[in-house]
């Protein structure tokens, strides 16, 4: 047809493939969206950041095959981050479900070290994230940004875990992102005991990473799991994230890592023209 229009040929060029994946979904929860981009070739960091900005989800994961492992990087719309749980789960889902990559164990080269993932029973996927050490600190470190809290813990070098009174208090938090930006932490996790059929409920705020409030945060389990073990003595915990979309996570604590498990689904797929 194009010949009749005087066009010699039609160029069809496909770029990097991408999948929009909702991670940590539940029966009534929509989970956290991540876009997984399969890179056919390496791209400059500024191009990766621009792509993440254009896609506009909380995290864009860029994955590329490197020998027997996979290189994995995560970008918010504004910065590259050291660790992202839901985008790692989304990447594992793409490799297993969309690409049909064989193998029982997957290994990802990341800024947080080598992370691993696998298929679990009952439709769950599991990824191993580095366990955080927690240390109780004075609640004044939060500058009253969450209102009255029962206890506050520093979790690793970049997170704070604040325990509030109950589920109603958690859901009623009205947090000013600018005030929270002054708290010396990249991520502030508000947590309480209980919730809709779970052991613990949380909300997560990360204005320093360009996220006023995250929908579902797998990396928060790196702090929540050690705290739960100290509180309840159990290495396993079920968690509901009480965000506008909602999500469900399951975690199991080991000596050096936390296995974070959940369900993911593909919302749409396409090609990135970059």
Q: Which residues are catalytic?
A: 59
Contact 272, 16 (CB under 8 A): yes
The DSSP H or E segment spanning 168 is helix 167-171
Contact 155, 161 (CB under 8 A): yes
CA atoms within 13 A on the CB side of 237: 33
Give ∠ CA 69-101-260 in degrees, rounded to 5.
Answer: 70
**The dihedral formed by the CA atoms of 109, 115, 120 and 125, expressed in degrees to the nearest 10:** -70
Q: Which residues contact 155 (CB under 8 A, 6 or more apart)?
A: 132, 133, 134, 161, 189, 222, 223, 226, 227
Q: Which residues contact 172 (CB under 8 A, 6 or more apart)?
A: none
Backbone angles phi, psi at 113, to 5 degrees: 100, -165
Distance CA 244, CA 78 (A): 21
Distance CA 31, CA 25 (A): 4
Q: Which residues contact 128 (CB under 8 A, 6 or more apart)?
A: 115, 116, 117, 254, 257, 258, 259, 260
Distance CA 24, CA 138 (A): 32
């Amino acid at each position: 047809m194009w010949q009749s229009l005087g066009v010699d040929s039609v160029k069809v060029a496909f770029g990097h493939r991408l999948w929009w994946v909702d991670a940590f979904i539940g029966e009534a929860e929509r989970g956290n969206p991540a876009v997984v981009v399969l890179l056919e070739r390496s791209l400059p960091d500024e191009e990766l950041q621009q792509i993440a900005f254009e896609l506009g989800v909380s995290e864009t994961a860029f994955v590329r095959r490197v020998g027997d492992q996979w290189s994995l990087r995560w970008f918010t719309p504004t910065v590259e981050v050291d660790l992202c749980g839901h985008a790692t789960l989304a990447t594992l889902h793409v490799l297993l479900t969309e690409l049909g990559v064989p193998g029982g164990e997957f290994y990802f080269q990341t800024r947080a070290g080598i992370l691993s993932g696998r298929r679990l029973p009952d439709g769950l996927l599991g990824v191993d994230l580095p366990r955080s050490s927690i240390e109780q600190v004075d609640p004044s470190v939060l500058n009253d940004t969450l209102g009255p809290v029962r206890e506050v813990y520093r979790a690793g070098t970049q997170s704070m875990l604040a325990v509030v009174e109950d589920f109603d208090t958690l859901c009623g938090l009205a947090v000013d992102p600018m005030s929270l930006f002054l708290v010396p932490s990249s991520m502030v996790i508000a947590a309480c005991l209980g919730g809709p059929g779970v052991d613990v409920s949380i909300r997560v705020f990360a204005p320093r990473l360009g996220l006023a409030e995250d929908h579902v945060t797998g990396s928060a389990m790196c702090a929540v799991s050690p705290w739960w073990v100290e509180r309840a003595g159990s290495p396993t915990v079920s968690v509901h994230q009480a965000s506008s979309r909602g999500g469900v996570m399951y975690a199991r604590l080991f000596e050096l890592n936390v296995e974070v498990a959940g369900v993911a689904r593909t919302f749409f797929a396409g090609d990135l023209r970059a």
